[in-house]
Amino acid sequence: MRAVLVLYFRYFLKWDDDLSTSIYHTFIALCYLTPILGAIVADSWLGKFKTIVYLSIVYTVGQVVMAVSAIHDITDTDRDGTPDNMTFHVAMSMVGLFLIALGTGGIKPCVAAFGGDQFEEHQEKQRSTFFSIFYLSINAGSLLSTVITPILRGQECGIHSQQKCYPLAFGVPAALMVVALIVFIMGSGMYNKTAPKGNIMLEVCKCIGKLLVAQVKMVLKVMFLYIPLPMFWTLFDQQ
């Protein structure tokens, strides 16, 4: 999707280069920030499996919303090939991108770790093979999507008028995500699901918080000793 996202902003939503670039990089930044929250949720409450499933659903919904937002015929009431209510398409696009970024937060930090949980300590060779295939698949998929997505976008589609087919470019990844999610859930009974044990980041934050509170209390005790000083120097200067 990222391969055609800026083109979608420029030529469908009619944004200028600056706004398109800003929104694109904001979206990418969110995709790398939300995994922090996803990791905390998985380690502290839901566990990796439920976090992957729930937020994969959010991710898929976001992809579907993006595909729907790119259908120009929805608001093209005069059938001239141009959406008549661009606000609708912009709002849908922003909602879709936010859901995708949020869903990414549950997938990125949990999938590899969940895969590693399926192996025992003595299965180092199998674990190594799994991660080799896993990362090969990710990079191969990224390469293929970079090639295929622009081809899908280059197709002509539409009911009243033919336009670049952004719905197809966004819809195919959504359909593939649905298939992947169904396959993942079907294997639920075979997985080793570890219970949440708490997140190290939260523990560190708690320690820092306790330390700060202790330091503030010490400072307040010292400041209490200095309360009479302003009154003393005020009286002293009146002599």
Residues 187 and 233 in one domain: no
At residue 26, the pLDDT reads 94
- 10: domain CATH number is 1.20.1250.20
Least confident of 33-37, 161-165, 217-221: 217-221
In the predicted model, what is the mean pLDDT of residues 20-40?
Answer: 92
Beta bridge partners of 156: 164
In the predicted model, what is the mean pLDDT of residues 183-203?
Answer: 86
Residues 215 and 141 in one domain: no
Tally of domains within the chain: 2
Q: If we measure between CA atoms, which residue out of 63, 192, 56 comes closest to residue 127?
A: 192
Q: Vertex 146, ends 182 and 13: CA angle to 5°?
A: 90
Residues 43 and 56 in one domain: yes
Backbone phi and psi for residue 196, each to the nearest 5 degrees, phi listed first: -60, 135
What's the pLDDT tens digit per position in 92-105? 999 999 999 999 99
pTM: 0.84
Residues 68 and 186 in one domain: yes
Structure tokens at 209: 């918080």
The Cα 186–Cα 177 span in angstroms is 14
At residue 218, the pLDDT reads 78
Rounded percentage of the chain residues whose pLDDT exceeds 90: 65
Range of the domain at 233: 201-237
The Cα 110–Cα 116 span in angstroms is 10
Confidence of residue 238 (pLDDT cuts 50, 70, 90): low
Residues 163 and 214 in one domain: no
Res 229 pLDDT > 70: no
